C-alpha cells in the first residue's frame, strides 16, 4: 500500500542548475507534507514542510510546491550544490502530530 510514491529512484543535475524532486500521494486525508534529506548511516534531516492550506513554501534555496488536486508535490533546489547530493524522502501525515508515511526516496547527485 504505497500511499506516498517517489517514482524517480535517482536524479543527476549539474552544479548551479535546478533540481526538481517529485512526490505523489493517494490519501486525501494527508494534510501535512515534509521533505527530508538523508546521508548514509545518518537519520533523516528535516528540510522543509508544507501544510495543505498552502501551495508553496520557500526557505532559501529550497521551495516546495503542493498541487492538491493532482495529489502531487515537488521540491525545487536552486541553485543545486554538490553538498546537496543525498537521498531525499517525501513524507506525509494527517495533522502535524502523527506518524509519517515516507516515499521510497530519490537519490540526488549534483555534479561539479
Residues within the interface to another protein (CB under 8 A): 32, 34, 36, 41-46, 89, 91, 96-105
Query: What is the spatial order of strands in the sheet that 62-67 belongs to?
Result: 4-5, 19-25, 72-77, 62-67, 56-59
- Residue 100 gets which letter from DSSP? -
Residue 13 or 34 having the CB closest to another protein: 34
Judged by beta carbon, residue 69 or residue 97, the one nearer another protein is: 97
Shortest Å distance, C-beta 61 to another protein: 20
CB closer to another protein out of 65 and 102: 102
Secondary structure (3-state) at 105: coil
Tell me the closest approach of the beta carbon of residue 101 to another protein, in angstroms. 7
Shortest distance (Å) from residue 60 CB to another protein = 17
**What does 15-71 look like in DSSP terms, one character per residue?**
TTS-EEEEEEE--TT--EEEEEEE-TTS--EEEEEEETT-SEEEETTEEEEEETTTT
Closer to another protein at the Cβ: 64 or 80?
64
Measured distance CA(61)–CA(59) in Å, rounded: 6
Q: Considering the complex, what minimum distance in angstroms separates the CB of residue 6 from another protein?
A: 9
Amino acid at each position: 500500500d504505497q500511499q506516498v510514491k517517489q517514482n524517480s529512484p535517482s536524479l543527476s543535475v549539474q552544479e548551479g542548475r535546478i533540481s526538481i524532486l517529485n512526490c505523489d500521494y493517494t490519501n486525501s486525508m494527508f494534510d501535512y507534507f515534509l521533505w527530508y534529506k538523508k546521508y548514509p548511516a545518518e537519520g533523516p534531516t528535516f528540510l522543509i514542510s508544507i501544510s495543505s492550506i498552502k501551495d508553496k513554501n520557500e526557505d532559501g534555496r529550497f521551495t516546495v510546491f503542493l498541487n492538491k488536486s493532482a495529489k502531487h508535490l515537488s521540491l525545487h533546489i536552486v541553485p543545486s550544490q554538490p553538498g546537496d547530493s543525498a537521498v531525499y524522502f517525501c513524507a506525509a501525515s494527517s495533522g502535524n502530530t502523527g506518524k509519517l508515511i515516507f516515499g521510497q526516496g530519490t537519490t540526488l547527485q549534483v555534479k561539479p
